[in-house]
């Protein structure tokens, strides 16, 4: 009995020490998500892959936030309607829930707000909310999914974005090697990767890149120490507030799965992690890393790649005669 009690107390003590050690780190493990309404998530998944939400009937959310490639399109800036070049690099949709805001300039406070934006953006999906509701509402095969998710088959924009956000909230990537290390497995990362993490901390990177998402919790000026030179015209938070002091201030990107989400920065100018680390060290921290230090930080960053979401590609219900026809080649209205 005494041995059993001692073993239990010892186990609790070890767990407490482990939790204390974890709490001392500026980065927390990503936790698996709990799904309360699987029917809502299933509907959201269908709508995430639904190209008929776009004017052309060709572009879906997955076009720019490809779940096969880290939740991004791996382009400097995304391709939109009529092959228009987007103005900014596409942030990852993975682990996007829980950030301070959505989009680089923070103009959407929630995933629901974010989901509504691209549908009506003329440079992205180029439809309208009214047309999106009309299209989805015209497809009989969607009725059972809306009824399962909401209790009836009514289609409106709030339901569309609520469902899409519910699906996106499930796109977490737990169990990275670094998470395993945080939870007590000291063999989960190598000596060089640990050196990179310690350098990452000592340099001050964790002042902005912290928490479970390793970022996404604040806005910072790009070029704190030295001006960041770019030809990209995005002004950051200034586009939302109108204040000149907010120019070149952007939401700090999350670093989970960062080895998959190249190219980097709002303008996509850093093609590799090595370039991104060197530039950030220079313009944000005033540091010039050696090649060895850069390699160590990059090695650490690669430990942040977690288990990718296992998403079965949905089979979407077919259009019917009442569904508006799509013409991707329709000339733009002057």
Would you say 216 and 264 are in contact if contact means Cβ atoms under 8 Å apart? Answer: no
Would you say 110 and 38 are in contact if contact means Cβ atoms under 8 Å apart? Answer: no
User: What residues are paired with 102 via a beta bridge?
Assistant: 108
State the CB neighbour count (10 A cutoff) for residue 138.
16
**Helix, strand, coil: what percent of the chain each, to 5?**
45, 5, 55
Would you say 62 and 204 are in contact if contact means Cβ atoms under 8 Å apart? Answer: no
Asked whether the CA dihedral 218, 190, 69, 172 is positive or negative, the reply is: negative
Q: One of 50, 112, 124, 168 is an active-site residue; which one?
A: 124
Nearest to 64 by CA among 83, 96, 92: 92
State the CB neighbour count (10 A cutoff) for residue 231.
6
**Gyration radius of the chain over CA positions:** 22
CA pair distance 71, 63, nearest whole angstrom:
9
CA pair distance 255, 212, nearest whole angstrom:
10
Q: Which residue has the tokens 């944000």?
A: 284
State yes or no: is 50 an active-site residue. Answer: no
Mention every residue, 6+ apart, whose C-beta is less than 8 A from residue 266. Answer: 88, 89, 104, 222, 232, 234, 236, 250
Helix (H) or strand (E) holding 241: helix 238-241
CA pair distance 127, 47, nearest whole angstrom:
14
Q: Which token pair is 98?
A: 């829980």
What is the set of active-site residues? 124
């Amino acid at each position: 009995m005494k041995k059993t009690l001692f073993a239990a107390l010892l186990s609790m003590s070890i767990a407490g020490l482990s939790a204390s050690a974890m709490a001392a780190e500026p980065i927390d493990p990503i936790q698996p998500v709990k799904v309360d309404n699987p029917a809502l998530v299933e509907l959201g998944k269908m709508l995430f892959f639904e190209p008929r939400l776009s004017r052309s009937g060709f572009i879906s959310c997955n076009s720019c936030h490809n779940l096969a490639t880290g939740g991004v399109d791996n382009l400097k800036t995304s391709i939109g309607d009529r092959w228009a070049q987007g103005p900014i690099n596409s942030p990852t949709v993975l682990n996007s829930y829980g950030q301070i805001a959505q989009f680089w300039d923070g103009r959407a406070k929630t995933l629901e707000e974010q989901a509504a934006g691209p549908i009506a953006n003329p440079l992205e999906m180029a439809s309208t909310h009214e047309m999106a509701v009309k299209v989805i509402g015209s497809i009989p095969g969607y009725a059972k999914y809306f009824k399962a998710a909401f209790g009836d088959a009514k289609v409106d924009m709030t339901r569309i974005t609520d469902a899409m956000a519910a699906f996106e909230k499930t796109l977490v990537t737990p169990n990275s090697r670094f998470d395993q290390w945080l939870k007590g497995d000291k063999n989960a990362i190598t000596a060089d990767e640990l050196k990179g993490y310690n350098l990452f901390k000592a340099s001050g990177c964790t002042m902005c890149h912290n928490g479970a998402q390793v970022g996404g919790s604040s806005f910072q000026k790009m070029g704190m120490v030295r001006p960041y030179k770019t030809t990209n015209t995005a002004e950051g938070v200034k586009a939302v507030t109108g204040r000149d002091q907010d120019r070149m201030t952007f939401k700090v990107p999350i670093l989970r799965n960062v080895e998959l989400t190249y190219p980097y920065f709002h303008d996509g100018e850093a093609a590799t992690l090595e370039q991104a680390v060197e530039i950030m060290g220079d313009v944000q921290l005033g540091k010039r890393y050696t090649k060895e230090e850069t390699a160590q930080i990059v090695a650490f960053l690669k430990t942040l790649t977690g288990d990718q979401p296992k998403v079965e590609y949905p089979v979407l219900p077919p259009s019917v005669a009442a569904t508006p026809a799509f013409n991707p080649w329709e000339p733009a209205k002057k």
